[in-house]
Amino acid sequence: MIGLFLGSIYITKRLDAIRNHFGVFKKIQVSVTLYPLLLPFIFLFITRSDSLKISWLGANIIFPLLPIIAGFIGGLQFPLGNKIYLSNESLAGKVGGLTYGIDLIGASLGAGIVSAFLIPIIGIFQTCIAVSLLNFSVLLSLSFHKGDLRI
C-alpha cells in the first residue's frame, strides 16, 4: 500500500505536465512487464550468496522493498489509466469506481490463481515468467490502440 500511495502521488502531481498520457502509460507497462523478470535474479543473488551481509540486506532491506516497488509501479498506472479513460468527460467518480473495482477483481483473481496454482505447480521462477508474458500481451494490445482505452 505504501508503494501504491507513493506511485499515485508521484504521477498525480505530474498529470497536467504529461503531454502524451497514453505513451507514458505504455512505458509504465514496459516496467510492469520487466519487473517480474528481475525477481528471479534478485532471489538467486540473495540465496546463492555466502555473505552474511548480503543475506541480512536481502532479508531486511531488499525483500521488503520488492512489494513497495511493485506497488509504486501500479500506483503510477492507476491515476494515469483513469485520466486516459476519462478523455475530458465529467464522469470522474464513475470511472474511478469502475477502474478501481476492475482492479480489485483482477488483483483478487491473480493472487488466488498465482498462490493456489501457479507457484505450487510451476514454481516461483516460471510464475514470474508467466506473469511477465501476460503483461507483455497487455503491452502488445496497447500497441494497437491509438490512445483510447474505453471499451
Tell me the C-alpha distance between 21 and 102, whole Å.
20
Cα–Cα distance for residue pair 136/34, rounded to 1 Å: 9
Residue 106 domain flag? yes
pTM recorded for the entire structure: 0.83
Asked if the structure places residue 148 within a domain, the reply is no
Q: How many C-beta neighbours within 10 Å does residue 89 have?
A: 10
Tens-place pLDDT, residues 20-58:
989 999 999 999 999 999 999 999 999 999 999 999 999
Res. 79: pLDDT tops 90? no
Residue 117 domain-assigned (yes or no)? yes
Domain count for the chain, please give it: 1
Given a cut of 60, is residue 148 above it in pLDDT? no
- Tell whether 105 is covered by a domain: yes
Q: Is residue 57 part of a domain?
A: yes
**Per-residue pLDDT tens over the stretch 86-143:** 765 666 666 667 777 887 898 899 899 999 999 999 999 999 999 999 999 999 998 8
Distance in angstroms (rounded) separating the CA atoms of residues 42 and 52: 16
Does 28 fall in a domain?
A: yes
pLDDT (average), residues 70-81? 92
Q: Which whole number is the average pLDDT over 61-85?
A: 91
Assess if residue 65 is contained within a domain. Answer: yes
Range of the domain at 65: 2-143
What pLDDT was estimated at residue 27?
95
Question: In this structure, is residue 151 part of a structural domain?
Answer: no
